[in-house]
Every structure is written in structure tokens, then in C-alpha cells.
Structure 1
Amino acid sequence: MASVERKQEKQGPFYRGYGIRRQTSAEIVTEARRSLRTLQTRRPFTPREEHRQLFGGSARTRDGRPPSSFSLHARNFDAPDSRPNSGTRLSPLEHKSRFPVSPDEDCSKGVPKPPAEQKDKRGGAGGGARTRLVRARSLMIIPSVMQHDANDPRTEGVDEAISSTNPPQHEPFHLHSSSKQEKMEQSSKHIPNKHRPNEHSRTPRPSSADLSPGKGTKRDAERGRRDSTGSDETVFWTSEVLPVLEMFESVALGGTVSKETMERLCDACTGLHNVLSENGMLGKRFKNRSSVLRALFRLIDLGSDRLNLTLAKLILELDVSGNNLLNICKLVFKISRNSKNDSLFQDNGVIDSLLSVIQREDFSSSGEIVLYCTGSLKLLSGNSALTRLLLAKDFIPVSLQLSQHLIQITDPKASPTPDQHNISGHILVQVTAALRNVADLSESRAAFLSSSVFSTLCAVIDRHRDDQDVCLNVARIFSKLSSYAECCCALAETSSCYRLFLALLCKHSRKQALVVRLLFTLGNLAARSDQARQRICEEERSIDVLLELFQNYLRVPRDKPDEDEDVLIKLIRVLANLSIHPVIGSALASNTLCVQLLLKVMEVRSVEESAELVVNASTTINNLSFYQSESSVIRVQHKHVSELLLRLLLSSNMDAMLEATRVFGNLSQIEEVQRFIIRNKVHRFVVALLDSKNPDVCFSACGVLTNLSVDPTGRSVINQEGAVHKLIDCLRDFGPQDWFLAAQVCQTLWNCTDEAEGREEFAQELLEILCLYSDQKALQWPSSDDIKAYQEACWELEFLPVAEMLKKRMRRYANLPETICDTS
């Protein structure tokens, strides 16, 4: 009877992955997941720009790209915003004002009185002829008495006159100072606008339609409403706006302005903005808007960033256009270049105005305006507080909309001009750089996921493949976001990304910063799912592209070896993660060039100098060695591989030793490799690893020992090193926490205890542990239902079958009855 039981017990040795029953496909996949591991690595470091510029560290040539540095003065602005572009500009007069610095001093002293205007001999200032004779200096007068209706033909000439002159350089705005003029102004306030004596106006003759029956009442009512509105605006101008402009006028340019005066100017400018906003006078609805703008433009020459930003906010909301809008956007950009001014943007609200300009401006005619707006936002996004402010103001959807617009304009079907394509690229550099900074915020991920950001960014790099700056910024965005599971899954669903990444790797193979980020993103995608791995390899020449890069960066010496090594680390990680797919892994294991390049890394690089690179290469070798087909290059070259692994075992790097042990765990099924291990005393290192407190290390060591103990010679050698006692300690320490490891330890013990000498010494101890671990009720299980169900399944399917067999053997060794700790 005993001999029959003995014969039934003798089922043969355990190999790693060998079971007592035929495994299901699900179990095979589970086992493969334990043996093949995805590689993780650090995300490429993106340094902050030391100098805030439009194109910091750009690959663009300086010729043809907009400047980051420039000077702006009041003379650069068109005094009346509504002035048509004549194409001819007069040079400013070389004249310096002599106004007192203090606003308390009398501004009228020393200011020459303008000569009395001569009446037209024909009795009136007819239309445009008279207005063209108005001198430039007289147009600098704030027209407090020149209230007119923009739709009234009688004032058309006045509008044209005001709209056709620029203020001279440093020329102050003047109020009338003569007593005669003051009396005229005071008397004019009591005369209705249409009845004021005005030598420049002519009463229009009523038409026959106006005199027809039934028309007079309606016309009179409309005129009455218009006059009432004009009168209200006159009172508003005199009481609310004019005092502020007079304060602006009292400040002299060219000297030093006190801090207190600057504070008053900022407060006054803010107050003026509030007053205009409350009365609905922002935009272009205010009839005296040109006068306000001239006064605001003048203050720019004071050179205060705080004041200029306050001015810019108000000027932008007065809806300037053309050259003035461009210069204001340049002014804001100039202020944003100084990081010390970041706090000014938090309290100013100009960011809203910039976003509004981006959304409403027509790119085809205002490309440079949009460029400096987005450039300012890019620089501000380098500040984490302002980045959160941009995120709260929906910067991501605004950027997405702008990018889509730029994509449409540069569509080859739309036949874009070279200038349109260039300015589009310049703008996208700013937009993508700002999005790159926003992507650093964890709270931004929801916004990136809720919009079609990934597909739009793929379209951007597809349209601008030649633009290294745009491609690099987008690659930086993807490398950051793909580090997070939900964003990586969303990118994996963007089918065009795989083709684009491989195309850019071919086109910009020498651009290290771009290549390393594309490879990092591909490695993240390949780490997620078999579907992503399959999509990568389905692209034409995908593996060839990766191996060509591998050859170039491994063999060609470069100026920056550290950057080359980072490329190799990310590239090998892609190969390691792709190899988890069974079809792809088998193909890579049979690819001679792939295996030779990996082995060359282990040959020419030392683990002491390039630890991560060498460890990644050995991990990829481990994944490929899992596939045992006859065409496997690793199994064919097992001798050379074993020699390289021995170098890693002798190193002081624990990660390298662990990876070498894992590869030996797969290759030690080959008899020649077993003899190599024993001949070079590798088994001593492996047995010593059992003392490690790391379960992964113990698991890998058990794999090697399981295969070595199949042969009686190998079993004897490892038992001499005290392997059995160390295995029992591993089972006691790690069993309840890792049932996979417990099953592997039991398999190794099964092989090592076959007719072992001194078995009475360990049989009783091992039996007690096995009896305890075989009692499901005696074990402590996790409180989480999901984790408990998973561990119970592992315990039942992986550990218990091997433990029951080993218990029967230990009872026999200890001469104990079969009923001892019988869990059945």
C-alpha cells in the first residue's frame, strides 16, 4: 500500500509555471502577466525658460520672426482710434513740454493762448475744406465744447479733423486756458447743442419728405430723443470724465513722477473704467471716446508697468482696433516678460480682455495681434497661481477653438499663403507652450478629457510637421498627460497619434528633446493594453523605425551623451512593453537585430555608470526569454546571454542582480545553462537572495532553484547551501501576503525535498506551516470584498494544490498519520 502511495506521489519535478492540471487560457495569461513586466521610467525633465521670450530656445531663425523686445511710446499710437490708415505718417515734432510736475501748480502759466480762429469768408466752415485747415496743435485740445452727434452730417467734418492727426512726441493734451474761452465754454453749457453758434456747422434744409403730412411729428420725436440723450452725455462728460482727464493732463512727462502721483493715476484710471462701465460707455458707444483714448495714450510715456497695465485694461475695453490694438497687445506682452509683474495680472483682469481678443480677432488680418496676446498668456502660465487663473477662465477651450481655426486656415485645400502658414506656426508655439504649462496642474486633466484636445493637438502636429517648436510643445503635453491612466486611455483611443508619432520620429530623428518625449509617450501607451501595443505595431515599419533609432543613438557618438542615453532608456522601454503582447513578443524574440542591440547595451555600458539603461535592457531580455520558440535568438545565444548576466550578478546594483536572476529563471530550463550556473557558482548568489525581504527577489530566486533542483546533481548542490531552510523561512514570512509566491516556494520545496538527507529536521516544521496555511478559516483575509475574493482565488487555485501534495510527503517523512491537519 505504501509503495502504491509512493508511486502516486512521484509525479515528477516542478518547473516554473508547471502545474498538476492543465491550465486554462485565463490562467496562462495570468501567469504571463506575472512573468512579463512593463517598464516604468522618469518623465523627461522640462526646464523653465530663464528668459521670458516669444520663442525661447527656439529652432526658428531670427529672420522673419516677430521680436520679443521693443520700445513703445505714446507716439506709436494713433491718437484717434477711428482714423483711417492714410499710408503716410508725419514725423513727430522735436518738442518737449514744460508742464509742472505737481498737479497743484497752475497749468495755465506759461502756456501760450491759441490765436483766435478766423471765420470763413463765405460765412461758415464748409464741410471738409475748413476742417483740413485746422492746425495739428489745436486738435490736441480736449473737445469739451465739441459735443456732436456721430450721425449728424453737420459734425462730419469735425470728426474727420479729429480723426486725422497724431499727437506730437511728448506733446501734452491742453485744455483752453484763456478767460474768453472759459466764458464761451460756460455759456455753451446752457445752450442746446443744435442751437449753439458754430461756424463749422450748417443747418440742413428739410426735405420734401420731412414736410409731408404725418411726417413732422415722428421726426420731431426722434430729434427730441436724440437731443435728450446728447444732453445727458454732455452732463456725464462734464461731471464724470472731464475732471479725470484734467488730472491726467496736469502730469508732466519726461521727469520723475512720485509714487503717490502714480497711485493717484492708477486709482483715477480704475475709477474712470468703472464710471464708463456703469454708464454703458465702454466699447465704441461713447462719442468722446477719441478724447479719452488720447489722454490715456499720453500716460504710457510715464513708463510705469502697473499704470500701463491699468491703462491697457481700459483701452482694450474701449475696443480699439488696428495699430492701437496691436501696440496695446505688445505693451501687455512687454509687461508680462518681467516675472515681478505677475502679481499685477492677478488683480487687474486684463487676462479676460486678452482671451476676448483671441476669440474675436480675425486671424487673416490680425495675426500679429493674436500672437502677442497668446505670447503674454504663455509667459503668465509659467506662474502656478496664474496658471490656475487661466484654467478657471476656460483657457483650454479657448485654445482649442483657436487651434482649430488655425488648422482650417492652413488646410492645403484652402491654399494658405506662406505668411499665413508662418504666423499660424508662431501663434501655435505660444498656445501649445501655454497648454504645456497648464498640463502640469492635476486639476486640468478633466478639461483635457472633456474636450477633443488630443485629436486637435494631433491635427496641429500633422499640419506643422516641419515646425520643431510646435511638435516639441505638443510632445511635452502628451508626455505629461499620458503619465495618468485616464488621459493615457483617451490618447490611446486617438487613432491618428500612432502614425504621427512614428512619422515624427523619422522626420526629426536628430532632435533629441522631441524624440525622447515621443518615445516616453509610446512607452506609456504600450504599458496600458494589448490594443495599444497592437496599434503601434500595425503601423507600417513601426519596429524598423524603432530599431533604426536604436542603432543611431547607440553607435553614433554625440555631443550630449546623457541625452542620448535618455533616448535609449525610453526606446528600450517601448520594446519591453510591446513584448508583453504574445504575437509581438514572439516576433521581437526572433528578431536578430533587436536582440543584438539589447545585448550590445549590456556589453558596452556598465551598470555602475548607466544603471537604468542596463537594467532596462536586461528586463527586455527577460521578457523576450519568456518565449520558448525554436526561433528565439536569446535561446540560441544562451551562452553569450548567460555570460552577460553573470556580470550583472557580480555587480553591487540590486536591480541589476534581480533582473539577471529573472532571466536565469527562464533560461535555466536549458541543461547547458544549468551547468553554466553550477560551474560558475551562480547558485550561491541565488540561494543568498532567499534572505532578501523583497518578495519579488525571492520569487525570482525560487524560479531558478526550481529548475536547478530538477536534476539530482543540481538538487544536491543547492541543498548543500541550506536552500531548504531558507525556503521554509520565505514561506513563513510571505505566505499569507502573496499566495503566488507561496505556491512557487512549495514547488521549489517539492523538488528540493525529494529523498533529501536530514529530512526529519525540517519535516515537522514545514508540516505545521502547511497545515496552518491550508486551513481557510484560520487565515486572516482582507476586509475589502474584492481583494478578499482575489486572494481566495489565488489561494485555492495556486497554493492549495501544491501544499496538499507537499503535506502528504512531510507526514510520511515525519512518520505521522494521514489524519494530521486533514483539511478535507
Structure 2
Amino acid sequence: MVSMEKKQDICSPFVPQHNALRKTSAEIVSEARQFLRVQSTQRPFTPRDGHRQLFGNGSDRANHTSRPPSTFSLHAQNFDRPDSRPGSGTRLSPLNYKPKFPNSCDAEDLVKLFPKPPADPLEIKRKLTGPRSCLLRVGSLPKLPPVEGYTDEGISNLGPGQKQLSPKQHPYTDHTKTRGSHKPAPRRTASESRIMHLDADQGSTGCGAERRTEPGKEDNSRSSEEDAESMLWNHKVAALLQQLETVAAGSSEGLVDHLCDLCESLHGTLAEADMLGRHCKRRSGILRTLFRLIDINSAQLNLHIAKLCLALSVSGNNLLNICKLIFQISRSESNDIFFQNNSIIDCLLCVLSNEDVSTSGEALLYCVGTLKFLSGNSLILRLLLDKNCIGVAQKLIQRIHMVEKTHFTIAGHILVQLTATMRNLADHPDSRPLFVSFSILPELCVVLRHHCRDQDICTNISRIYSKLSSYSECRLALAQTPDCYQLFLELLSKHYQKQDLVVRLLFTLGNLTAKSDEARQQLFQCEGCMDTLLFLYDSYQRRETSPHTHSQKVPPSPSKPAPPMSGEDDVLVKLVRVVANMCIHPSVGPALATNSTCVKLLMETLELRSVQESEELLVNVAATINNLSFYQETNSAVRHSQLNIAKLMMKLVLSSSMDAMLEATRVYGNLSQSKDVRDIIMQHKVYRFVVTLLDSKSTEMCFSACGVLTNLALDPLNRVSLSLEGAAVKLVDCLRDFGPGDWQLAGQACQALWNLIGGGSEKLLSPKERESLLETLATYSDEEEALKWVENEDIRDFHRASWELEFLPVAQKLMKTLQLPDVHAGT
């Protein structure tokens, strides 16, 4: 028999003492494999909304009467025709009054005699020159129809260099009356009339003149441009408008297609002549014709009309109605094909880039709502990314921040649609670098802080984070956002009843803490971290289905309504995963191991749930307890409750779930260092199932089982029971089958055999089996033989380190034990 000192040296526990002076990558991997487990789980599923609505049925705004509607009726009569005029005022009827003027008056004095209209910013913007900037009604000139005639009678006694104004030029002349004593002058074209006015302006010195040009230069240029525009209008544009009117009045079979082609031709003609935008002189006529076509009620045609109207820079009520029109079309998925074959998306992005939130907020709302619907289509989603939709969204968010104080409600409505659109964009793999490069993730944290009470916005952003935090580059960008952990905890506390929000924030925190020690520590150190997490745990702990309901919740819940009772497991799965990941940090783990409330809740979950109904939850709970059991502090709550935990783990070991068995076996591997726990394992025959696990084809399962057997073999009475179950033979088979591919597993199998055989148990192995084991150990102890099958150099280095540290030392001791004379004699 080996001496007692020899036994103490051989029979080491499953958790070895590590040499702090020699720590390699193989040791780090080994520790992580044996004890601390990062937990993973599936991303929360977001069901697709079958109905395209501005605010879905699950929205917090669904029943609010003040929210913008998703359905409405639009007709030509809803559009404002005066919008196309440059002026902003209402046309007034002319006064039946003829002013009398002094006999001698120069142009400047003449201007002073007339009442001065209120200043109009549009007038300033147009920068009219000459006396007409004071005499004409604001904004009336550029959109006047062609002058059909005028009389020579007008204002007398004009100053030197001044030309007489026609009746239509005079603000107080009654345009509805004609004087019978005068014959009408020959008809002039619009361009000739404008040239006449420009000529008159050049010689004036009246108010409003801001610049002068030399005769024969700019005048000639303007004249030629206007002549060209007039010619284009007469020869092309007017003809196209007339065709639109004629075709629309008919009822041919290809009516819509013909009208769409005409709209495209009109758009191309205007674009080629640079007549798009508000500077187009005859916008009014074009828009009137387009508005009338809306009543045909064709989605395809209306998109062409909307694109033309946006290109002509409609504003105010017309801009709103055009955005509503596009939104209405996008509500039907069958119309998505029209958006794919139309550049209307470019126009929508242009509106989002240029329109002011404070003045066109509702139009922007429907514009973004359209993009939300369209982004649900995978083909259009690709188009949106190519057209820099994420960059446009980022700029819009920044503009919204600037007006939130004065327009908070409409800003919130827009952000609901915008964040929902970005949620869809986040699904595409190519969007992830864009979210990072445009700093969207930190920007959304600012939105969360400003709108922390808005459940719709918070839920949409949580969905974005839950999707993107699964990827390393996005995780890093979010982790570097200041105070994001504290913000998430505040939202969890504020909206603890909003299950879809809670589960996604917890999933994001689980992703952040999965591979970052810094994230684990930062989260744990946040104010109220564990209080918030444990309150959530207690709130979602379903107790009414068990007879062992506790009389008092832990921790006590505030006097608030109970949380929703559906899907609690999903919340707890994500929450327990966060705790399990935080345990890995060397300073956080011991603190959590001493948290009795946390351990009680974990044990309560094991007691209340069954593997059949809550498999993933129980697996995560077992993994968390395994991580906590690694820390053997004297005040550890796991250590104080280890007997109860060992009993609760039996339901997992005896279940049909391989994952549950694996995690429970890992827990037993740590807890079985205690003699009391080993006795429970033996008394309840759990060791039989552990030995059976050695037949598993899973290296992880065999590794955990070897660990439990290593500890059980410390007790002499246990070795006999283990030998009767054939533990030694199965360990030899495990070593032979998995050794060259997994030296950590081979080392653990040798450790279990060492404890079994080194204790002097008889008839564990036959002489033939012993010789075979010695031969196998000798072969595996030869470095060249052990590593000859590994070709990859990086993998080869890892295997060499594992072989040197995990296998070789214990294999050499086992060989010496097998060769001892008393062992041979005993067999």
C-alpha cells in the first residue's frame, strides 16, 4: 500500500491548486472550461407586423386620439393651388380708386406717397430691384399670366428715365375695367412683358434696388433665358400638360400607363431645362394639372405625380398631403414593386434631409413612416442602404434634438417611425459598418435618455441594440458609449412591466458582458445594479404554479401592478445569463457568491420549474450556480446551501436533456469537493449516471464526468462502488478514444484513474487491461507521437501546452502508481 503522504499527493481534488508563477494560455482555457462558463442564448424573436400602420396595435400610442392617423382620404380638392404661386398673401380685389398725384414729383417722391405694405420675407428673398419692389403687391409679379394688353394711360409726371406703368402693373388699378376711349395695345408675350419691366427697372433709383448691372449684359442674359424658357414652354411643356388633360379625360385601356409615361416625359423635360424647384415660372399650371390627376386613384400614377410635385418643391399643406399620399400607397405590400421601379425613394430621402422639423414635422412623420413600411421588403432594404438612408437618419436625429424642447410631441412621433426603420435596416449584414461609422449607437443612447418615458421609442431602440450587439464591432461601439449601462438599468427599472423591452435590454447586456471583463465590472459597479436585476428576477419569478409558494417576495416589490404573466421564462433566461457572465470577473464573482438573495432566487427557480417546460432557463441557472460555486469564500451563499443545491441538481441529471445533464454535472464537479455533497451523490445513486456519461460521445460530457469521479474517488468506500459500476474500465476507454484530440480531457481521465488505483482498490483492472493502459500512457507521453497528427502550427502550439501542463504530469504519476509492487500484489 502506498503511504498516507503518497495518498495525499495522489488524491488531489477536482479543483487543482494553480501555480501563479506559471500561467499559460492552456491553463486559462482549462480554467474556463472547467468552471466559469459564458452563457449564450437566442436573440428575442420579433414577430413581423402583418398590418402596415403608423402605430401598431402594440404601440403605446394605439389608443391615443391625438396621434396622427394611419388612414385618410385624399383628393385633388385637398391640395392648395395657391401654393404654387411665389407670393404668400391672398389676392385682393382691386380698389375702385384713382389716386391723384402732384404735378411735379420724381420717382423717389412718388414711392413715398403710396402706403407701404408689410415686409414679406419672400419678397426679400427674391431681391426685386427698382421701384416695382415697392409698388407691386408682394409676390404678384413672377407668376402673372401673359400680358394680353395694356393702355397708355397711367401715372403721369414720372421722373426722368422712368417709363409709364401699365394698368396691370399698378397696384391700385381696377384690372376688371377697360376704358372705351383707348384701343388695346398689341398682345405681348410673357417674356416681352418681363423684359419691359426689367428695362424700366434698370433706369430707376426707387426703394428696394440692391444692385445695378451694366446695360447689355445681365439684361440680355435674362432676356435670352426667359425667351428660351418661354419657347420650351410653348413647344414642349404646354403640349405635355395638354396631353395629360386629354388622356385623363378619356377611358382608354392603357390610360394609367400612358399617363405615367407622360409624367416621366414632363419630369425629364423640366429637369433638362432646369425648370424644377420653386424657381419654375409656371409651377402653378403644372401643379394644377397634376393635382387633378390624383382623383384617378392609381397607386402607380400617384407615385409619378408625387415625385413630380416633390421635384417642384411643394411646401406647406401640399407637402404634407403628398407625403400622406405616398404613405397611403406604401401601406399595401403589393405596391412595393412601384417603389422599386421609381426614384421616389430619392425624393423621400431628400425631404428628410432638407425639410425643417419645426415647420414640416407632420410631413416628415409620414415620410419616415413610408420608409418604415418599405424597409420590411428585403429588396427595397438593399436600396435604402445604397442610398445612404442610415446617414440621412443620423442627420435627422441631430436636427430633431435641436427642436425637441419646443416640438417634443411631433419629434417623438417621428422618432418612433425612424427607429422602427433603423430596426429593419439593422437586419442587413451590410448595415453594421454603417451603424458604427455614423455613430448611430451612441446617438440612440441620447434619444433614449431624452425619451426615456416613451415605450415605443425605447422598445424600437432596444430591438436595434439586441440585433447589433451580437457582433463584435457593434458591441465595442456601444460599450464605449458613456453611461450606457446605467441608462439600461434605469430603463429596466422604469419599464419593468414592458416585457418585450426588458428582454431585449437584458439580451444586450448579456452580449456586452459575454466577452469583456471591463463590461462585467462596469455593469456591476453601476448604482443599483443588483437591486434592479434582483427586483426584475423576483417580479418575473412565476410562483403561482407551485405549492411551495413563498409568503414573501425576495426582495420586497414596491406597490405596483403585477407584471404580465406570459413569457416570464424568456426574461429570466436573459437575466440569469447576465448574472452568469458577470460572475466570471474575479472581483465581481466573489461578491455575487455571497449575495444570499441571488442564490435563493436561483434555487427557487430550480424548485419551481421543470426541465420539460423551462429547459433553457434551468440550464442557465445551473451554469450560473456553477460559476458562483467556483469561489470558495467562507461566507459564500452557495457553500452554505450546497446540500440543497446538490439535491435540486438531481432533476437535471435525471432529465432527458443533455444540456441540463451537462450543466448539473459541472455543478457536481465543484460541489463534490465537499464530503457532505459526495455522500449525497453516493446515497442517491447519482454516481451511476455520472459513470454512464463516460459512454457519451461528447468530450465536454466526458470531461465533466471525469471531474466528478475524481472527487468521488477521494473516499475509500466510494472507490468500491465506482469499481462495481466499471468506472475504471470506462475511464481507460475514454483516455484511449479522446486523448490525442483533447489533452485536457486525457489529463482529467488520468486524474480520476490515479485516485481510483492509487487508493489500492482491488480488481479495478485486469492484468491485460493494466498492461494496455501502461502502453497507452507510454505512447501518449512521447511528445513526437502525441503531437504528430497536428499539422496547423497554431493549434500545434496549443496542444503542446495542454499536453505539457494538463496531461504529462499526471500521466507520469499514474504510470508510477501502476508499476508499484503492492498494486500488482493486490490484483
TM-score, length basis structure 1: 0.82
TM-superposed deviation, 1:560 = 5.4
SS at match of 2:73: coil
Q: CA deviation at 1:14?
A: 2.4
Matched, 1:433 2:432: no
- 1:46 correspondence with 2:42: no
Are the aligned partners of 2:602 and 2:621 in contact in 1 as well (CA < 8 Å)? Answer: yes
Amino acid at match of 1:512: Q
> 2:575 matched to 1:568?
no
Q: Does 1:355 align with 2:349?
A: yes
CA contact (8 A) 1:154 1:202 kept: no
Change (3 A) 1:195 1:679: closer
Q: CA deviation at 1:650?
A: 2.0
Aligned equivalents of 1:358, 1:205: Cα separation in 2: 39
Residue 574 of structure 1 aligns to which amino acid in structure 2? Answer: V
Q: Aligned letter for 2:808? A: L
CA 1:299–1:764: 2 relative to 1, 3 Å: same
Is 2:410 the counterpart of 1:403?
Answer: no
Structure 1 residues 170-569: aligned runs within 5 Å: 193-194=191-192, 207=203, 218-252=214-248, 257-410=251-404, 416-417=405-406, 420-555=407-542, 561-569=565-573
Q: Give the distance between the partners of 2:55 and 2:432, measured in 1 at CA.
A: 26
SS state at 2:430 partner: helix
Given the alignment of the two structures, is residue 785 of structure 1 paired with residue 782 of structure 2, yes or no?
Answer: no
Distance 1:700 1:814 in 2: 31
Amino acid at match of 2:471: Y
- Say if 1:624 and 1:634, in contact at 8 Å, map to a contact too: yes
- Pair 1:64 & 2:60 matched: no
Contact kept? 1:80, 1:293, Cα under 8 Å: no
Corresponding letter in the other structure for 1:614? L
Secondary structure of the structure 2 residue equivalent to 1:494: coil
Match of 1:795 among 790, 794, 803: 803
| Alpha-carbon distance in structure 2 between the residues aligned to 1:747 and 1:775 | 19
2:761 to 751, 756, 775: 756
Q: Which aligned pairs between 1:668-747 and structure 2 lie closer than 5 A?
A: 668-747=672-751
* Residue 810 of structure 1, CA deviation: 3.2
2:607 aligns to what?
603
Q: 1:336 to 1:21 in 2, by over 3 A?
A: closer
For 2:40, the aligned partner's letter is Q
Q: CA deviation at 1:502?
A: 0.2
Measure the CA separation in 2 of the matches of 1:17 and 1:147.
Answer: 106
Structure 2 gaps, min length 5? 100-113, 116-142, 151-162, 173-183, 545-561
Give the superposition deviation at 1:12. Answer: 2.7
Q: CA deviation at 1:339?
A: 0.9
Answer yes or no: is 1:55 the counterpart of 2:59.
no
Post-superposition offset of 1:221: 4.3
The one-letter code of the counterpart of 2:481 is: T
- How many angstroms apart in 1 are the aligned matches of 2:590 and 2:433? 38
CA contact (8 A) 1:39 1:573 kept: yes
Q: Which structure 1 segments of 5+ residues have no match?
A: 90-118, 129-140, 162-183, 411-415, 817-824
Q: Report how far residue 397 of structure 1 moved.
A: 1.3
Deviation for aligned residue 1:225: 3.0
The residue type equivalent to 1:48 in the other structure is: R
Name the CA distance, whole Å, in 2 between partners of 1:205 and 1:377.
48
Distance 2:460 2:21 in 1: 48
Instruction: Check the 8 A contact 2:15/2:670 in 1, yes or no.
Output: no
Shift of 1:229: 2.1
RMSD: 3.5
Contact 1:77–1:297 (CA<8 Å) still a contact in 2? Answer: yes
Cα displacement (A) at 1:455: 1.0
Mean Cα deviation higher: 237-246 or 768-777: 768-777
Distance verdict in 2 for CA 1:751–1:249, change over 3 Å: same
Is contact 1:763–1:813 with CA below 8 Å preserved after alignment?
Answer: no
Distance 1:727 1:192, change over 3 A: closer
Give 1:82 shift. 3.8
Label 1:799 to 1:258 Cα distance change in 2 as closer, same or farther (>3 A). Answer: farther
Structure 1 pair 504–285 and aligned structure 2 pair: CA distance change class (3 A):
same
2:9 match: secondary structure: coil
Deviation per CA, 1:729-779: give whole Å up to 9, x if none.
111111121111111111111111122323423211111211221222223
SS in 1 for 2:83: coil
Answer whether contact 1:502 1:545 (CA < 8 A) is retained. yes
* One of 753, 772, 776 as aligned partner of 1:769: 776
Counterpart position of 2:121: none
- 1:257 Cα shift? 4.1
Q: Aligned AA for 2:734?
A: C
Helix, strand or coil at the partner of 1:697 = helix
Per the alignment, residue 137 of structure 2 pairs with none
**Aligned twin of 2:665:** 661
2:195–2:223 Cα contact (<8 Å) kept: no
Deviation at 1:155, TM superposition (A): 9.4
Structure 2 CA distance for partners of 1:209 and 1:451, relative to 1, 3 Å: closer
Q: Deviation of residue 227 (structure 1)?
A: 2.7
Task: Judge conservation of contact 2:448–2:458 (CA < 8 Å) in 1.
Answer: yes
Deviations 1:77-132 (A, max 9, x none): 1114244556999xxxxxxxxxxxxxxxxxxxxxxxxxxxxx9999xxxx99xxxx
Structure-2 change in CA distance of 1:376 and 1:145 (3 Å): farther
Q: Does 1:624 align with 2:628?
A: yes
Decide whether aligned partners of structure 1 residues 59 and 499 sit closer, same or farther in structure 2, where only a CA change above 3 A counts: same
TM-superposed CA distance for 1:143, in Å, is 5.4
Q: What are the residue-to-residue correspondences of 1:576-655 with 2, within 5 Å?
A: 576-655=580-659
- Alignment CA distance shift 1:761-1:472 (3 Å): same
Deviation of 1:542 (Å): 0.2
Using the TM superposition, give the Cα deviation of residue 491 of structure 1 relative to its aligned residue in structure 2, in angstroms: 1.3
Q: Is the contact made by 1:81 and 1:293 (CA closer than 8 Å) also made in structure 2?
A: no
**2:412 is paired with a residue of what secondary structure?**
helix
Three-state SS of the structure 2 residue aligned to 1:59 is coil
- Report how many residues are paired: 728
User: Kindly tell me: are residues 88 and 630 of structure 1, through their superposed partners in 2, closer, same or farther at Cα, counting changes over 3 Å?
Assistant: farther
| Secondary structure, counterpart of 1:218 in structure 2 | coil
Superposed CA deviations along residues 507-542 of structure 1, whole A, max 9, x for unmatched, are: 111111100100111111111211000000111010
Give how far 1:782 is off. Answer: 3.4
Matched AA of 1:745: A
1:632-687 Cα deviation digits (max 9, x unpaired): 11221222112111222222222222221111111111111111111111111100
Q: Per-residue deviation at 1:428?
A: 0.6
Distance 2:565 2:191 in 1: 80
Partner of 1:36: 36
CA contact (8 A) 2:10 2:754 kept: no
Check conservation: 1:578, 1:584, Cα contact below 8 A.
Answer: yes
Relative distance call for 1:219 and 1:793 in structure 2 (3 A) is same
1:206–1:358 CA distance, 2 compared to 1 (3 A) = closer
Find the aligned partners of 1:233 and 1:543 in 2 and give their Cα distance: 73
Separation in 2, partners of 1:560, 1:447 = 36
Q: Using a 3 Å threshold, how does the CA distance of structure 1 residues 159 and 345 change in structure 2: closer, same or farther?
A: farther
- Cα distance in 1 for residues equivalent to 2:372 and 2:804: 58
- Does structure 1 conserve the Cα–Cα contact (< 8 Å) formed by 2:757 and 2:818? no
CA distance in 1, matches of 2:674, 2:195: 113
Q: Per-residue CA shift, 1:370-391, capped at 9, x if unaligned?
A: 1111111111111111111111
Q: Which amino acid aligns with 2:628?
A: L
Whichever residue aligns with residue 485 of structure 1, its letter is S
User: For the Cα contact (< 8 Å) 2:442–2:477, is it kept in 1?
Assistant: no
Q: Distance in 1 between matches of 2:479 and 2:7?
A: 50
Structure 1 window deviating more from structure 2 (222-231 vs 370-379): it is 222-231
Give 1:813 deviation, angstroms. 6.7
Change (3 A) 1:584 1:19: closer
Tell me the secondary structure at the aligned position of residue 18 of structure 1: coil
Distance 1:249 1:8 in 2: 106
